[in-house]
Structure 1
Amino acid sequence: MSAPTWDPAQYLRHAGHRARPFTDLLARVPGLPSEQPRIADLGCGPGNVTALLAERWPTAHITGYDNSPEMLDKAHVEWEGRTVGGGRLDFSHADVRTWAPSEPYDLIVSNATLQWVPGHGERFAEWVAGLRPGGSFAFQVPGNFDAPSHVLMRELAHSARWRGRLAETLRHDDAVSAPAAYLEALTGLGCAADVWETTYVHLLTGADPVLDWVKGTGLRPVLTALADDEEAARDFVAEYRTALRAAYPDTAHGTPFPFRRVFAVARKEA
């Protein structure tokens, strides 16, 4: 299975809703041990939420890491450079599955990325080891793999018409762990851990807004797998659109889109 191709413009169509969990995550990160902290953002995407780190820690040297050339191109153009507080924001290519700290970090953070990394809990020990004493590792992941948006997509991919091309394309419902499992893993590494979950109910507007949302994220593997067959891609999207309309009916004020997320902040002993 090849890595999905990303479309920064499509992803950013719901930038406000997507950024909300990151701001909620950062609100729970304690003070960092350095006056000029070193921060890594794993899976930075187009850089728009990485820039929020510079607002919280204006003297920091922040590096956003991603493996998507399309996302990194957008981040380099829009956000790279000196920050108003005298810090620096830069971006670099890296695969989160193998990335390891090459220097001490005050904060390692990841926003809606680790669900793409099978067995990501096995990486926690190396990342925590790369923190300065008193530093933090913080992440949030979607916890909605049992929601209709994902269930319907998987069912369609495994249907008679599509299973030959798509059966192995999508992530399964075990892509993330339960909050209690993350708590156990992080406390087992000697960290003070704060783990919680939140279900946002986004009110989306426009035509087929849930489809528009997933075109920027969860549907990317399907769109990548069918990229060489425009007719097949159109047919899959049309079937999926019909199913989503029934699962997420429009209302007078928009389309409610419940979205559960799991958060964790782990502080290394000082």
Structure 2
Amino acid sequence: MADWNAGQYLKFEDQRTRPASDLIGRIPLAEIRSAVDIGCGPGNSTELIVDRYPGARVLGLDNSPDMLAKARMRLPEVTFEEMDIAAWNPGERYDLIFANAVLQWLPDHPRLLARLATCLETGGCLAVQMPNNLQEPSHRLMQKVAQEGPWADKLAAASQAREEIGSFEDYHSWLLQAGCSADLWQTTYVHTLADAGAIVEWFKSTGLKPYLDPLSPEEQSAYLERYREEIEKAYPAQADDKVLLRFPRLFFVALRQ
């Protein structure tokens, strides 16, 4: 995919940071020496780690130059590196691996979790949050518009960009096999947004990217207009003229035994 747009992502910074804040609040470690934020984005999640563990050595990893530029401006004292998480193979172990809204872009979660667990110190923590919204109207309509438009051939594989999230039982089993105990939960956030156009703006920097990146600028505009029309039908205005965006997210905090 093309580079991520940090400015677009940060239009909804408060709402996007809330799940990361909820996640870090469930980490049971009182003190740590080292942490890595994989898929750190513009550093909003990394900042939470720095604030919670001011004495820790913190590393942020992301594959987006634009996201990393924003992260370095935000936290100049933290080391940030450009890295493809799928190929990440550190030469050390960490007390905390924090992964906020990133693992859904990576395949084969049983093998992935086993690999990440080996990067933890004994007693270390893997803290993960993943959007679990592929069955929400917002995402089903992305696929509908892709299939019905003149760009159908170009977007045939777009829906495969994200990994299908497993069940609680799946992640419990996979983490157990990786040598970890796990605390799992799901939260459905309900975001009050201005209108259907705001929902489109929300997903332009995340879920819509696999659908927009293969298209020309003219096709992108046409796709987004069709998508906005569908979103207006699926998310009707409330009494205050606002719309409500349901957003389920799966969480787990795993401790290496």
TM-score, normalisation: structure 1 = 0.90
Q: Say if 2:150 is the partner of 1:161.
A: yes
Q: Which amino acid aligns with 1:133?
A: T
**1:239-260: CA deviation from partner (whole Å, max 9, x where unpaired):** 0000001111122332111110
RMSD: 1.6
Q: Say if 2:71 is the partner of 1:71.
A: no
Q: 2:4 — aligned with what?
A: 6
Q: How far apart are the structure 1 equivalents of 2:122 and 2:8?
A: 39
Q: Say if 2:243 is the partner of 1:255.
A: yes
Q: 1:86 — aligned with what?
A: none
Q: 1:38 — aligned with what?
A: 34
Note the C-alpha offset of 1:208: 1.5
Note the C-alpha offset of 1:173: 7.4
Alignment equivalent of 2:105, drawn from 116, 123, 131: 116
Q: How far apart are the structure 1 equivalents of 2:229 and 2:196?
A: 12
Q: Which amino acid aligns with 1:76?
A: R
Q: 1:240 — aligned with what?
A: 227
Q: Which runs of 4+ in 1 moved over 4 A?
A: none
- Any gaps of 5 or more consecutive residues in structure 2? none
Alignment equivalent of 1:19, drawn from 12, 17, 20: 17
Q: 1:189 — aligned with what?
A: 178
Q: Which amino acid aligns with 1:77?
A: M
| Most deviating of 144-153 and 174-183 | 174-183
1:173-188 to structure 2, matched below 5 A, reads 175-188=164-177
Q: How far apart are the structure 2 equivalents of 1:186 and 1:5?
A: 31
Note the C-alpha offset of 1:90: 1.6
Q: How far apart are the structure 2 equivalents of 1:53 and 1:205?
A: 31
Percent identical: 39
**1:136-163: CA deviation from partner (whole Å, max 9, x where unpaired):** 0110100010000100001111225221
Q: 1:84 — aligned with what?
A: none
- Any gaps of 5 or more consecutive residues in structure 1? 82-88
**Contact 1:152–1:243 at 8 Å: present in 2 too?**
yes
**Contact 2:196–2:235 at 8 Å: present in 1 too?**
no
